[in-house]
Amino acid sequence: MKPGTIPTVKHCGGSIMLWGCFSVEETGRLGGIEGKMNRVKYREILDENLLQSAQDLRLGRRFTFQQENDFKHTAKIMQE
């Protein structure tokens, strides 16, 4: 088993959803998401974690935030 891994069973149901970030040097915050993900919940996650993670990772004010083009990520509330 590789360090930092946990053995899992891919049967018997159940799942978790997480939000996380990383830089070239290290990882940032990792947060669990309860319930169904939507654009409002995604905005709350970013409000609570994104800038704090950038600060924790010592990225300063200049960093590139990247995400996929899921509709939650491109909603009007997110562009604001």
State how far the alpha carbon of 15 is from the alpha carbons of 8, 25, 49, 52, in Å: 11, 29, 22, 27
SS3 15: coil
Tens place of pLDDT for every residue, the chain, 80 residues?
677 787 776 666 667 888 888 888 888 888 888 888 888 888 888 888 888 888 888 888 788 888 777 777 777 777 77
How far is it, in rounded angstroms, from Cα 46 to Cα 37?
13
Residue type, 59: L
- Three-point CA angle 37, 42, 45, nearest 5°: 120
